[in-house]
Amino acid sequence: MVYVPFVNPEVVDYALRIPVELKIRDGVEKWILRQALEGLLPPPVLNRPKAKFWQGAGVGELLARYADETISDGDFARERKLDNGWELAGKEELAYYRLFREYYGRASDFSWMGRTKPTPGRTVS
Mean pLDDT computed over 59-79 = 90
Q: State the Cα–Cα distance between residues 86 and 65, nearest whole angstrom.
A: 23
What's this model's pTM, rounded to 2 decimal places?
Answer: 0.52
Say what angle helices 91-104 and 60-70 make with each other, to 10 degrees.
Answer: 80
pLDDT tens-digit profile of 20-47? 999 999 989 899 999 999 999 999 989 9
Identify whether the C-beta of residue 118 lies closer than 8 Å to the C-beta of residue 124. yes
Q: What is the DSSP-derived secondary structure letter of residue 6?
A: G
Asked if pLDDT for residue 69 goes beyond 80, the answer is yes
What's the pLDDT at 83? 83
